[in-house]
Structure 1
Amino acid sequence: MTDTTLQLEDAALDLDAAAPTTWNAATWFSVISLAATSFALVSAEFLPAGLLTPMARDLGISEGTAGQVVTATASVGAVTAMLSNVLIGRLNRKTVLVGLSALAVGSNLLAALAPNFWLLLLGRAGLGIALSAFWALSVAVVARLVGAHATGRGMGIVTLGVSLATIAAPSAGALISDWLGWRSAMALTAGLAVIAMLLQLLSLPTLPASASNSLADVFRLTRRRGIQLGMLAILLLMTGHFAGSVYVRPFLEQVTQLATGPIALALLGFGIAAVIGNVAGGRMADANIRLALVVTAALMAIAALALVLWGVHIGLAFGFVTLWGLAFGMGPVVLPTNLSRAAPDALEAAGSLMVVSFQVAITTGAVVGGYVVDTYGATGPLTLTVVLAASTVVLALLQPRG
């Protein structure tokens, strides 16, 4: 056993001792600052969905080319996730988090002012670095702030920012773009990152590194059975989600025969349920992580299967899209917490593997889902969601109770 491992184990044992048993105002303020950061970063990530047409027109490129700004963020993020916790070494984690928010400010401003597509891509790549490094550190930082016993609850609040950004960013971006232009919309996300950075400066306690990580430490962690099962759970469930959820709108158009207005209401219900799922998932993860994972995956499988079987009925379609949203809201809380339970002595390294797993799942889900919908029609991707979510239930039952 290495000295680094011993240091990490000592740090893990001290998590609950160092964190308050009840959350005081300072703890709440710290966790909320991280939620504000996740909202700012994810808002910037999803913003292009509402800006592609004016962005493409202004830069003289096709909409397909403009869509590669999303690919740039995700691909750079996947690489960064493996290296971020290695590169930051023994830097104070508060300094790192504030620095990542500053990077997001600069990246969003560069994207807003970019005179050509390549500088726009550079700005989005910087955002990918900030996003992935933040999420790679998130579970470890939350555990230090609230204690290992309340990590799920803390992550539930942090990931509220994700759900709110997913709901607000594309529609708000489109409205602001129509009113002030797409560059103004990009600049406003820089403003959100400034607010998050100020909140971090004011609220986060000093967070000295307990140890530095090496790339070998990260890869060594993959030998643990719990880490393998945790990563596989992320890959299965999130691939299933993104393979199917991207094509929920075509399903509602073609199978349920809904117009644009009712579809927007159904997707709003999905988003509101996801917010509720964040909170419920955090509570359940702290109480029994194995049960939380079973429930999350089972709800998604049931929702997708019910849509395939009875999605022609409008009322049932609305209800099961909402149920899917609840399951999705639980996922970003339950899955990282589940993975972290297998590495209480190496939370930062586990965070890197968590982000890589999510990025691979998102990319795989989008690619496979596109092939399935073109080959088998609107119900195909949802059927794939059923299979992968049900597989996650089986996987969860193989895990130790906890």
Structure 2
Amino acid sequence: MTDTSSSLTSAELDLENTEPAAWSPATWFAVLSLAATSFALVSAEFLPAGLLTPMARDLAISEGTAGQVVTATASVGAVTALLSNVLIGKLNRKTVLVGLSALAIGSNILAAFAADFWLLLLGRAGLGIALSGFWALSVAVVSRLVGANATGRGMAIVTLGVSLATIAAPSIGAVISDWIGWRSAMTMTAGLAAIAMLLQIVSLPTLPASKSNSLSDVFRLTRRRGVQLGMLAILLLMTGHFAGSVYVRPFLEQVTLLETGPIALALLGFGIASVVGNVAGGRLADASIHMALAVNAVLMTSASFALVLWGTHIGVAFILVTLWGFAFGMAPVVLPTNLSRSAPDALEAAGSLMVVSFQVAITIGAVLGGFIVDRYGAIGPLTLTAALAASTVALALTQPRT
């Protein structure tokens, strides 16, 4: 693959001015099967948050050690994201997606029946491969299903599964774990992946690969100015989000002075708003991706900075946490769509770069947030969120339209 950005047709570069066509029932079914897959995979990813205590007790390890199952999923996913589109070569993309769901089934079953910590880690590593492979292909597959000018809307539906899983998985996992055990909860995620796989088999059309990618193709794509700016937007906005969002609860406890019940209600508002933001982000991304990126960053800047200034007021804090959730819901749609618009001829390679950017942002955000909260208290991470989100606003306003 060579850098063909200079020879892209005007139709490819003018995607924002094309009216999306109506979807057929078959298209809806196919996109919903991908949404089911994202729900199944992300549910499995976030499930350990509600299972750490019984998991650690059963395996005779500390809760800190048990928490490394999340690290294993993320770290393996980051490496796999670079290699996934290289390793699959010219395999039919439907076959690849079904295979990744099968891997998720096997990985969840292995984790559910693991007799020791290392088998549990192996199962979680397999889930990391399935996750990164799915997300690296997601934009390219959605674009083929719905058309490039409706990619934002399609990705909004697919990532809706992420929002729902983020809200439901930890709490439901904790309930199921207390009821019938953490291994049963893990087994149920294998069942979700099996349902998603069946939906893929039934609904997805055949998706032959138009080309195969090499690692050099992926890195060559980073020479494009639009791709560089798209990756930078992910790094800035998501580093800021993950640096601050982890410490929203300590902020509400220490600054707003809320008890556990009101905090849970505020976080529920965050989750519900993220679902709404997900849908709105898809609509706005298809209308104008540059406006969508600017709006997304402005909302996150406003919410986090206003919390720092006026977070002592209970009603204001509730509204701002909800606004932050809306902005976060937009991001998984807007940021990948923004990056992909600079590489319509190399969506799979762009997908790999997108996944790597997200994983790096999550890692940096976690490290910076932890350092700042220990040194400056709960207000510090939110200040960093505001600063990085504001930088994303500036990036969005100066980013070239092509």
Report TM bin, short chain: over 0.9
Q: In structure 1, how many angstroms separate the alpha carbons of the residues matched to 2:6 and 2:29?
A: 31
Query: What does 1:211-360 correspond to in 2, within 5 Å?
Result: 211-360=211-360
Tell me whether 1:118 sits opposite 2:121 in the alignment.
Answer: no
Percent identity over paired residues: 83
Tell me whether 1:373 sits opposite 2:373 in the alignment.
Answer: yes
SS in 2 for 1:159: helix
What's 2:180 paired with? 180
What's 1:399 paired with? 399
Tell me whether 1:48 sits opposite 2:58 in the alignment.
Answer: no
Answer whether contact 2:2 2:217 (CA < 8 A) is retained.
no
Answer whether contact 2:93 2:207 (CA < 8 A) is retained.
yes
Question: Alpha-carbon deviation of 1:4?
Answer: 10
CA 1:6/1:301 → structure 2, altered by over 3 Å: closer, same or farther? closer
Tell me whether 1:158 sits opposite 2:173 in the alignment.
Answer: no
CA 1:76/1:337 → structure 2, altered by over 3 Å: closer, same or farther? same
Q: In structure 1, how many angstroms separate the alpha carbons of the residues matched to 2:329 and 2:55?
A: 30
Answer whether contact 1:4 1:211 (CA < 8 A) is retained.
no
CA 1:20/1:288 → structure 2, altered by over 3 Å: closer, same or farther? closer
Question: Alpha-carbon deviation of 1:141?
Answer: 0.2
Q: In structure 2, how many angstroms separate the alpha carbons of the residues matched to 1:393 and 1:304?
A: 14
How big is each residue's C-alpha offset from its partner over 1:180-199, in whole Å with a ceiling of 9 and x where there is no partner?
A: 00000100000000000000
Residue identity opposite 2:264 in structure 1: A
Q: In structure 2, how many angstroms separate the alpha carbons of the residues matched to 1:345 and 1:8?
A: 8
Answer whether contact 2:3 2:220 (CA < 8 A) is retained.
no
Answer whether contact 1:8 1:210 (CA < 8 A) is retained.
no
CA 1:243/1:301 → structure 2, altered by over 3 Å: closer, same or farther? same
How big is each residue's C-alpha offset from its partner over 1:194-213, in whole Å with a ceiling of 9 and x where there is no partner?
A: 00000000100000001000
Q: In structure 1, how many angstroms separate the alpha carbons of the residues matched to 2:6 and 2:364?
A: 37
CA 1:318/1:238 → structure 2, altered by over 3 Å: closer, same or farther? same
Answer whether contact 1:255 1:311 (CA < 8 A) is retained.
yes
Q: RMSD of the TM alignment (CA)? A: 2.1
Query: What does 1:93-132 correspond to in 2, within 5 Å?
Result: 93-132=93-132
CA 1:335/1:59 → structure 2, altered by over 3 Å: closer, same or farther? same
What's 1:79 paired with? 79
Residue identity opposite 2:126 in structure 1: G
What's 2:35 paired with? 35
Question: Alpha-carbon deviation of 1:8?
Answer: 10
SS in 1 for 2:238: helix
Residue identity opposite 2:276 in structure 1: I
Residue identity opposite 1:274 in structure 2: S
Q: In structure 2, how many angstroms separate the alpha carbons of the residues matched to 1:250 and 1:224?
A: 41
Residue identity opposite 2:316 in structure 1: L
SS in 1 for 2:205: coil
Answer whether contact 1:8 1:346 (CA < 8 A) is retained.
no
Answer whether contact 1:7 1:210 (CA < 8 A) is retained.
no
Q: In structure 2, how many angstroms separate the alpha carbons of the residues matched to 1:124 and 1:8?
A: 40
CA 1:252/1:20 → structure 2, altered by over 3 Å: closer, same or farther? closer
Q: In structure 2, how many angstroms separate the alpha carbons of the residues matched to 1:399 and 1:5?
A: 16
What's 1:142 paired with? 142
Answer whether contact 1:307 1:320 (CA < 8 A) is retained.
yes
The gaps in structure 1 that reach 5 residues or longer are none
CA 1:75/1:7 → structure 2, altered by over 3 Å: closer, same or farther? farther
What's 1:22 paired with? 22
Question: Alpha-carbon deviation of 1:82?
Answer: 0.1
How big is each residue's C-alpha offset from its partner over 1:65-97, in whole Å with a ceiling of 9 and x where there is no partner?
A: 000000000000000000000000000000000
How big is each residue's C-alpha offset from its partner over 1:47-69, in whole Å with a ceiling of 9 and x where there is no partner?
A: 00000010000000000000000
TM-score by structure 1 length? 0.96
The gaps in structure 2 that reach 5 residues or longer are none
How big is each residue's C-alpha offset from its partner over 1:162-189, in whole Å with a ceiling of 9 and x where there is no partner?
A: 0000000000000000000000010000
Residue identity opposite 2:248 in structure 1: V
Answer whether contact 2:20 2:150 (CA < 8 A) is retained.
no
How many residue pairs get aligned? The number is 399
What's 1:384 paired with? 384
Residue identity opposite 2:356 in structure 1: V
How big is each residue's C-alpha offset from its partner over 1:261-301, in whole Å with a ceiling of 9 and x where there is no partner?
A: 11111001000000001110001001111110000001000
Answer whether contact 1:163 1:275 (CA < 8 A) is retained.
yes
Q: In structure 2, how many angstroms separate the alpha carbons of the residues matched to 1:272 and 1:156?
A: 15
CA 1:115/1:341 → structure 2, altered by over 3 Å: closer, same or farther? same
SS in 2 for 1:89: coil
Q: In structure 2, how many angstroms separate the alpha carbons of the residues matched to 1:204 and 1:5?
A: 30
CA 1:48/1:8 → structure 2, altered by over 3 Å: closer, same or farther? farther
Q: In structure 2, how many angstroms separate the alpha carbons of the residues matched to 1:81 and 1:377?
A: 34
